[in-house]
Amino acid sequence: MIRTVRTPDGVDLHVDDQGSGARAMLLCNGLYCSTHYYDHWIDEFSRDHRVVTFDYRGHGRSADPKDPAITLEMLVGDAQAVLETIDGPVILVGHSMGVRVALELAGRHEARVHGLVLLCGSVWGVGEGRVAEAAARAAPKILKLAEKAAPLSRALRDAVVRPSWMVSVGSLLGGLAHSTPKPPVEALVRNVRRLDIRTMTSIASSYAQHSARALLPGVQVPVLQIVGALDKLATPSHAHAVERELASCTTVVVEDCTHLAPIEAPDEVNVAVRRFVAALG
C-alpha cells in the first residue's frame, strides 16, 4: 500500500507499506538514499512482517520542505512521524546514516522497539585512519563553498554524477564495488540528481557533526549489526567497538562485501536477520 504521512511541520512523506504480521519493520534510509535500497529486504520479510519504508523530506517521492536546509534531527522527525502511524511493536532497521536515525528513534520510543538491525552504518565518525581525518577537516569548508555556489555546484553535480562515476568513487571509498548490482546504483544516482544541492550540503554538515555514541548505554533491546568486510565507511572494527558498548549485540561480518552488503549478499544477510528475529520470540 502506498500512502502519504504528513509531518507536524506540513511535509508530505512517501510511504510504502507492505505485508502483515505481529511485528512491523520500519526501515530508515542512508545518506541521499530512497526506498530503492530495500527491494531485496521487502521481498523476503514482507512474507511474515509488516514492512514499512519511506522517503525522507526532499528525497525520492516525498515532498520538498519550504526550507531546503535539512538536518539529521529533521530526518529523525520524519521517521517518528511514520512510526506514529504504525500500531504494535516495531523492529527498527537502519542502513548507513539510517543507523543513527534508528538509534535516535529508539531512544525516544524504547517501549515500542523490540529490536534494532543496524546495516553498514557508523554510530560516530565516518571511516578510519588518516584519510578519514583529512576528510573530516576538509568537509566543512567544501560544504560551505558548495552551498554558496549552489547553481555552479548543481551544474557540476549533474554533469559528473552518473552510474560509472558513482562506481569509481564508491569503489575508491569502499562504499561499493564494480561487482555491485547496477539497478540500486542507478536508483541512487537518480535520487542524488533529484536532491536540492542546499539540502545535500545541509544534511552532510549535520551528519558530520552528529554522534549517536551517547545513546548506546541506554539501548536495552537486542541489536544485530551487519557490516561488509570491505567497507571503509563503516568498518568491521568500528562495528566491534559499538558492540562492546551495547548490552546485547551480535555482529555479523559479510565477506567480500562493501557498504552495500544487503544488496551484494542478500541471501547471507537474510539468514542472519531471520536468526535474529527468531531469537526475539
Indicate whether 16 pLDDT > 70.
yes
Q: What is the mean pLDDT of residues 142-166?
A: 57
Instruction: At 246, list the grid cell.
Output: 551495547
On average, the pLDDT of the chain sits at: 87
Predicted TM-score (pTM) of this structure: 0.88
pLDDT at 161 over 70: no
Given a cut of 90, is residue 195 above it in pLDDT?
Answer: no
pLDDT in tens, 121-142: 999 987 666 555 555 554 554 4
In this predicted structure, the answer to whether residue 221 has a pLDDT above a threshold of 80 is yes
DSSP letters, the chain, are -EEEEE-TTSPEEEEEEE---SSEEEEE--TT--GGGGHHHHHHHTTTSEEEEEPPTTSTTSPPPSS----HHHHHHHHHHHHTT--S-EEEEEETHHHHHHHHHHHH-TTTEEEEEEES--SBSSS-HHHHHHHHHHHHHHHHHHHHTHHHHHHHHHHH-SHHHHHHHHHHHTS--TTS-HHHHHHHHHHHHHS-HHHHHHHHHHHHH-B-GGGGGG--S-EEEEEETT-SSS-HHHHHHHHHTSSSEEEEEETT--TTHHHHSHHHHHHHHHHHHHHH-
- The per-residue pLDDT for 138 is 47
Cell representation of residue 166 = 558513482
Maximal C-alpha separation, the chain: 53
pLDDT digits (tens, 9 = 90+) for 175-193: 777 788 888 878 888 888 8
Say if CB 253 and CB 227 are below 8 A apart: yes
User: pLDDT category, 167, cuts 50, 70, 90?
Assistant: low
- Specify the pLDDT at position 148: 55
The per-residue pLDDT for 5 is 98
Contact 58, 78 (CB under 8 A): no
CATH architecture observed for domain 2-280? 3-Layer(aba) Sandwich (3.40)
Q: Where are the domains of the chain?
A: 2-280
Q: Which amino acid is at 87?
A: D
* Confidence band of 37 (pLDDT split at 50, 70, 90): confident
Looking at per-residue pLDDT, the higher value among 141 and 166 belongs to 166
Per-residue cell: 133: 581525518
> What Rg value do the Cα atoms of the chain yield, rounded?
18
Hey, which residues does 25 pair with through a beta bridge? 51, 91
Residue 24 cell numbers, joined: 512491523
Q: Which of 24, 203, 99 has its CA nearest to residue 16? A: 24
Q: Among 206, 215, 181, which Cα is nearest to 73's? A: 206
Of 227, 19, 215, the residue nearest 117 (C-alpha): 227
> How confident is the model over 255-274, as pLDDT tens digits?
999 999 999 999 999 999 99
36 or 209: which leads in pLDDT = 209
Q: What is the pLDDT of residues 51-73, one digit of tens each?
A: 999 999 999 999 999 998 999 99
- pLDDT of residue 201 exceeding 90: no
Tell whether the model's pLDDT for residue 91 goes beyond 50: yes
In angstroms, rounded to a whole number, what is the distance separating the alpha carbons of residues 31 and 29?
Answer: 7
Per-residue pLDDT at 110 exceeds 80: yes
Are 259 and 233 within 8 A, CB to CB? Answer: yes
pLDDT band at residue 171 using 50, 70 and 90 as cut-offs: confident
Instruction: Reply yes or no on whether the pLDDT at 194 is more than 50.
Output: yes
